[in-house]
Homo-oligomer: A and B are copies of this chain.
Amino acid sequence: MTTRCTDEHGSNRPAGGHSGRRPGESGTRDAILVAAREAFAADGFDKATLRAIAASAGVDPALVRHFYTDKETLFDRAMTLPWDSDEIVSAIIEGDPERVGERIVLRFLLSWETGTSRDVFRAMIRSAVTHDRAAEMIRDLITRRLVGPVTRALRVPYPDLRATLVGSQLVGLAMVRYVTRVEPLASLDREAAARVVGPNVQRYLTGDLETRT
């Protein structure tokens, strides 16, 4: 089975790779990344194997090792989000300030349900419980790349605590909706889910966190 090249990773070069590029090399490398994302998303880091990824990409396992050295390196490369973090954060912050929470949830659900980020997010969460690098990627998304920039832009007190609280709701929403699939939340329409969860995220973003201390 071959997997088609459909994404943006063609320009990455292997560390220490040879300088002559064979025709089709970038297509092969992309096919491996796509197969890797699918495998990590379905099975998590521990269960996924280079052999199965190679088979799914239609290449020899030795070629996977040639391009990506080992499973850790392949995981790191495959987990690159096709995201402009600044652009996403701007889109979340602009508009009705009372609905920043809803916009962040909707954007998060969209990323879980469409495109390359779909497999990246699934792989990240399935791997985070046992693989430190994946846990680090989640921490990074919460504190630095997605939620942290939003709370800092809002100029509210306790931006770091607020970011982790929002992160807790987003990660839990993903676990319940996409990983353990608990109904009726798993099948709820994306916009309805964002409307129902949004006000809770909004309280974490801008609400009074010390009402009963």
Contact = CB atoms under 8 A, between A and B. Distances in A.
A196 B143 CA distance: 18
On chain A, which size bracket covers the interface?
Answer: 35 or more
Nearest to A203: B200
A200 B204 CA distance: 8
Given A125-B129, A192-B213, A200-B200, 14 more contacts: A46-B47, A47-B130, A126-B130, A139-B180, A139-B182, A142-B182, A160-B184, A161-B196, A164-B185, A168-B185, A169-B169, A171-B176, A172-B173, A200-B204
A182 B203 contact: no
Contact of A128 (B46, B179, B186, B209): B179
Interface in A114-173: 125-130, 135, 138-139, 142-143, 160-161, 164-165, 167-173
A179 B167 CA distance: 13
A43 interface: yes
B200 A185 contact: no
